[in-house]
Amino acid sequence: MIPGFDHYKKKWAVHSDDVIKPGLVAMEEALLLAGNPQQALHVVHLAGTNGKGSTLTFLEAIAKEHELRVGKFMSPCIVDVHDQIQIDGQPITEADMDAVFRQMHAAGLSGKLTDFELLTVVAFLYFVNKEVDISLIEAGMGGLLDSTNVVTPIVSIIPSIALEHTKFLGDTIDSIARHKAGIIKQNRPVIIGNLPEDAKRVVYEEASHKKAAVLEIGNHFSLHSFAEGDCYRNDEQHVQFSHLTRSMKGAHQGDNMALAITAFLEVAAFLNVSVNPTAIQKAVKQAAILGRFEEIIPFVIVDGAHNPASAEKLVETIKGEFPGERITFVVGILADKDVQQILRLLEQVSDEFYFVDFDNPRAMAAQNLLELSKATSKNILVDYAQFLQVQSDNKQRTIVSGSLYLLTAVRNSLKI
């Protein structure tokens, strides 16, 4: 369920199914009725297990600093459906959502799509209506059969690949990589992060089949850290950007930044835009994303680490940012995630856990989480808003993690 979406569906009598139906036939038929808006867009397409949102955020900031009008479509939402579709960082308004639903009603799209497919059409129509210069499109699940995979991008980006959504994508890295590599298009480059060898092999095979250039971090471009900031190097394009300081913490965010800079070089060449090193420096310093190692009140950090790969990155960041500090965790996780592996990773940096229930039908009960935890100090927490405020007042470093849906609930409870 996408919060706030039903309001527009009922208002405009445009119905869609709250299910997942991988495949592109329904999307292609619906987009034809809507005038194929995706064909009018200049797109960067992102797929991957983790890092999509952060890479997209860096790329958005860089493009905006170069005075480009930027549309972005991402998931899931932080508050409600409006923040999944944005232009220049501003969520789609009710008036603009109404305008797009009016178009979809007139095109006869009711009953033809799932919720996420319909939302994808909303994004495409909105970006065309507002004449954006560049559209950053994040795949919802997988890539090959995802509703967003109807675009022909300037460049595709795959930041990472790990086990996820195994019910739909398969239970091996190889099978999941084939879904992610499905976003690679004929003669269009793909940029990849640090991928497992099995995944990398699949990506290179697909790219070869599509005659698509592969730009790989650590091979075609690289990032080096110094006291005065990061230095990005791209020997393929003979460019270097120094003194890059990020607000987003963690070495993995440095990699995401490097992916974004590489993507922007491709976009700039395609759109004939001059690259400004000062604009890149300013953009990466300003780039920030809700729920990614974000301090919402003093000493209280939220991070949407919802699978083992992202939990591992969170642990690395904690070790780097707060070495030797006492850490308290407040955790809520969806039951269909690899809960035990996530807990084992988080337990590497803390032995003090509070488990919470939150409003989502897929959420694992706090009691079950407590029973699975191996921490010696573990409790169930009911009023987390009051608890977090006390932790902040006491200057006790506290990290809320496990699910993006929990982060939304916490943000709402603290009225942030």
What's the pLDDT score for residue 387?
Answer: 97
* Same domain as 181, residue 91: yes
351 and 265 assigned to the same domain? no
* End position of a domain, from candidates 227, 252, 286: 286
Query: What is the rounded average pLDDT of the residues 346-363?
Result: 94
- Specify whether 156 is located in the same domain as 82: yes
Whether residues 208 and 355 fall in one domain: no
The structure tokens 């003979």 sit at 238
CATH number of the domain residue 299 falls in: 3.90.190.20
Tell me, what's the pLDDT at 401? 96
Same domain, 96 and 163: yes
Co-location of 282 and 299 in the same domain:
no
> 316 and 279 in one domain?
no
pLDDT single digits (tens) 35-72: 999 999 999 999 998 899 999 999 999 999 999 999 99
In this structure, are 16 and 90 located in the same domain?
Answer: yes
Q: Model pTM? A: 0.86
CATH number of the domain residue 162 falls in:
3.40.1190.10
CA angle centred on 246, ends 58 and 328, rounded to 5°: 105
- Pairwise CA distance, residues 261 & 139, whole Å: 20
Question: Does one domain contain both 208 and 181?
Answer: yes
Percent helix, strand and coil across the chain, each to the nearest 5: 40, 20, 40
> Is the same domain home to 184 and 85?
yes
**pLDDT at site 361:** 87
- At 309, is the pLDDT very low, low, confident or very high (cuts 50, 70, 90)? confident
Of the two residues 27 and 310, the one the predictor is more confident about is 27
Same domain, 109 and 54: yes
- Tens of pLDDT, residues 316-331: 999 999 999 999 999 9
**Range(s) of the domain holding residue 48:** 5-286
Among residues 249, 267, 286, which one ends one of the domains? 286
d(CA 240, CA 221): 10
Burial level of 89, CB count in 10 A (0-12/13-18/19+)?
A: exposed
Residues 124 and 149: beta-carbon distance below 8 Å: no
DSSP string, 327-395: -EEEE--BTTS-HHHHHHHHTTT-SEEEE---S-TTBPPHHHHHHH---SEEEE-S-HHHHHHHHHHTT
* Residue-wise pLDDT tens digits, 339-349: 999 999 999 99
Per-residue b or e along 107-130, where b marks 16 or more CB atoms closer than 10 Å to that residue's CB: bebeebbbbbbbbbbbbbbbbbee
For strand 70-73 and strand 134-138, is the pairing parallel, antiparallel, or unpaired?
parallel
Domain boundary among 257, 286, 315: 286
Which has the closest alpha carbon to 86: 193, 330, 97, 170? 97
Q: pLDDT tens digits, residue range 227-248?
A: 889 999 998 889 999 999 999 9
Q: Name the strands in the sheet holding 239-244, side by side, starting at the edge strand that comes first in the sequence.
A: 222-226, 229-234, 239-244
Number of folded domains that form the chain: 2
pLDDT of res. 168: 67
Give the C-alpha distances (Å, rounded to integers) separating 80 from 83, 84, 131, 306, 333: 6, 8, 24, 19, 20
Q: How far apart are CA 7 and CA 251, in angstroms?
A: 41
**pLDDT beyond 90 at 404:** no
Confidence band for 87, pLDDT divided at 50, 70 and 90? very high
The answer to whether residue 20 scores a pLDDT higher than 90 is: no
Predicted pLDDT of residue 405: 86
Does one domain contain both 235 and 217?
A: yes
